[in-house]
Structure formats: C-alpha cells, structure tokens
Amino acid sequence: MIRILTVVGARPQFIKAAPLSLEMQRRGTIEEISVHTGQHFDENMSGIFFRDLKLPSPRYNLGISGGTHGVMTGRMLEAIEKILLDEKPDMMLVYGDTNSTLAAGLAAAKLNIPVAHVEAGLRSFNRAMPEEINRVMVDHVSELLLCPTATAINHLATEGITSGVHLVGDLMFDAVLALSDAADRTSTIHADLGLERKRYAAATIHRAENTDSKERLEAVIEYTLDQANGLDVVLPLHPRTRQSAERLSVNLDRKGLRLVDPLGYLDMLVLSKGAAMIFTDSGGLQKEAYFHRVPCVTLRDETEWTETLDAGWNRLWTVPEYKARREISDYGTGNSAGSIVDILEAYGTGEN
C-alpha cells in the first residue's frame, strides 16, 4: 500500500481534499496520513468544513496560525519535517498556493520525498502576491504536477517543466457535483437570512491586496455595492477582513451590505448558486460561480483562472464588460479525483 502524507490548512484546500480523500478510501490502495496546519483555525473557517465535507479528522493538527508569512511558514516547515521523519511516507500531497502548501513542499523536497501538487501550473504573473510565490516554488520542487487546465500545462512548459505533468481537471467541480443536491436538501441559509433566489448578490473579500489598505478596502466595497445595482450584497466576513476593517477604521455598516459570519461549505454553495451575481477575490469562488452559471466579478487586477474570463462568465473589476459566453471544457466531467488516484497509484508502483 502507498503511504501519502496530505497537508491542508485553508478552506479551499478542504474542498479540494474531500473528493480525493474519499476516492483514496474507496480504492483502498493508498493510506492517507492527513495533516491540518491550522492556518484557518476557527470553527467557521475549519471545523464546520470537515463536517460538511465528511472528511475524517486529521491525524495531526498543528495549530499554527498568525504571524508574518516567514514566521508562519517556518513554524510549519519545522513541524511538518518532524512528521515526515516519523511517518516516512512514500509521497507528499499538497494543494494550491498557501503557506501550508509551501512549507509542506519544501519539507518533503529537502528529505527527497516526492511531492504531488494539485492545481499545479496556475499563474497570475503578479509576484507581489504571496500565493504566486508559493505556487511557483512548489511547482519547481514537485515530481507530479496535477494541472486543472491546459493553460496551466502551458505555463509549466514555459518554465521548462514538462516531466510528471498531467491534465486532471478540477477537484472543486467534483465537490460541487457530489454535494449540490445534499446542500439543497439540508441548507437553510436562504430562510435564515430571508433571501429570495436571484434577488441578492454574494461577495467574499479576504486577500491581502484588498484588506491591507484602507483606500483599497473601501474602494472594493463601494464598487461592489455600486455594481450590485440595488441588490443587497451578502458578505460572509472573513476574520482577516473584519480585523483589517477595525484596524483601518473602515465602516462596514453600509446600506445594502449584509454581513454574516463565515459559512460552511454547504451553506456557501447554496448562497452562491442562488445569487444573481458574485463579487469575489477568491479563486475557488470564481470557478464555483461558473459551475453554477452565475456571473462573477473578480475583485482583483488579475486572475490565475483566465479561462473564466475568456469564457465570459467572469470579468476583472477593472474591465467594464464580459466577453461572449461559452462553456469551459478544461475542468473535466467531475472525475478529477479518479484521474488523480490513477496517477498516484501508477507513480507509487513505479509505472509512471
């Protein structure tokens, strides 16, 4: 049996991990040792996601959060290295572009443990973003690069990475297909908030580029309220955004802006699917907006999910109009987890 150490730390990673972990359990060919760094640590940002997604509790919970990027990443690297030395896995599996991802990738690479990177090859080409640095560095130490789109594969080829590269589609699409019906049956978010489908907008704001500056945070909020065209904007408030608003004295008590606590996955899925439009700086929600065929505005100056722009379902807030709409084939048919497990099995048995 192949032993794989999986490291997650933030909400989007829990969503991606769910279908893949369940597929590993179903096959019975891989022993998954899960580690939660604690990067997202409170109940609404972490615990509720494990329950909604039916993820088993992680074997290790490091409880590491807060501090500068360097401090957080260093503490994680040290803790993950110890686990790797104790567990001696055959492979490290990481997701996306967080500090947890970078720490895990570096720890494994320095111990000559192969790294498999889910969502490899994404690029925003903005090196001021910590996430861009993380994803580039992890791609360059990975043995298996599991790409969601053909564009991601092209980015890797441009950087000279062609070995171990696979197009596998998008695990978040797997999760949406698997859980959409259950969310509709169990979520009471519309009733709880007194919302009517397609009579409100949904928003998320959490990235440092939008929350570290008073001027930028106010501009993003004012833009969102203006573009909502009179619809109430429901904003599940990320802890970073709440803290930044308090620190920067940004008034969030505005007409048309409905603040709610962070939501679990099933509630957020229903909220997004029922919205008339979505405003977000989250990469995952840009894609989920497309999965639900809800028009999206990305509150950033660039995005790594460029196919959503090209297909006309998403636009940057700096661009006034959408392109002509079309379907996106890159994200697969909802069996990305199966494709990834096939690749992991083949690699683990020396067939890849």
The pLDDT tens digits of the residues spanning 318-331 come to 999 999 999 999 99
Residue-wise burial string across 253-263, b where 16 or more C-beta atoms lie within 10 A, e elsewhere: eeeebbeeebb
User: Residue 49: pLDDT band by 50, 70, 90 thresholds?
Assistant: low
CATH architecture of the domain with range 2-170+332-348: 3-Layer(aba) Sandwich (3.40)
The CATH H-level (homologous superfamily) assignment of domain 191-316 is Glycogen Phosphorylase B; (3.40.50.2000)
53 pLDDT exceeds 70? yes
| Whole-angstrom distance, CA of residue 170 vs CA of residue 333 | 9
- This prediction has a pTM of 0.92
CB atoms within 10 A of CB 293: 10
41 pLDDT exceeds 60? no
Identical fold between 2-170+332-348 and 191-316 = yes
Q: Are the C-beta atoms of 284 and 15 separated by less than 8 Å?
A: yes
Q: Are the C-beta atoms of 148 and 331 separated by less than 8 Å?
A: yes
Q: Which pLDDT tens digit goes with each residue over 256-275? A: 999 999 998 899 999 999 99
124 pLDDT exceeds 90? yes
Q: Which of 155, 206, 238, 292 is an active site residue? A: 206
Provide the pLDDT for residue 348. 87
| Whole-angstrom distance, CA of residue 180 vs CA of residue 163 | 36
Pick from 281, 307, 7: which is nearest to 152 by CA? 307
User: Residue 349: pLDDT band by 50, 70, 90 thresholds?
Assistant: confident
Largest CA distance in the chain: 60
Q: Which pLDDT tens digit goes with each residue over 133-187? A: 999 999 999 999 999 999 999 999 999 999 999 999 999 999 999 999 999 999 9
Phi, psi of 68 (to 5 degrees): -70, 170
Active site annotation includes 206: yes
Q: Record the tokens describing residue 275, joined without a space.
A: 């919205």
| Whole-angstrom distance, CA of residue 302 vs CA of residue 240 | 21
User: Residue 10: pLDDT band by 50, 70, 90 thresholds?
Assistant: confident
Average pLDDT score over residue span 81-86? 98
Domain boundaries, given as residue ranges, for the chain: 2-170+332-348, 191-316
Q: Which pLDDT tens digit goes with each residue over 109-122? A: 999 999 999 999 99
Q: Are the C-beta atoms of 335 and 138 separated by less than 8 Å?
A: no
